[in-house]
Structure 1
Amino acid sequence: MNATTVWLSATPFIAAALALRGVWLATRLKERSERRAEWWRRRAWAVERTADEDAYTSRIGAATVEALLTSDPATATATERDVIEAITLADLSHGEDTEGEPEHE
Structure 2
Amino acid sequence: MNRTPRPIRRRSPAAPPPPPAAAHTGPDVGSEPTVPAQLARNVARTYALLTGGEPRTVPELAEAIGYTPRTITRHLKDLSSQGLVAASDEGRWAANGTPVRRITVG
Q: What's the TM-score, normalizing by structure 1?
A: 0.29
Which TM-score applies when normalising by structure 2? 0.29
Larger radius of gyration: 1
More helix by share: 1
- Between Structure 1 and Structure 2, the one with more strand by share is 2
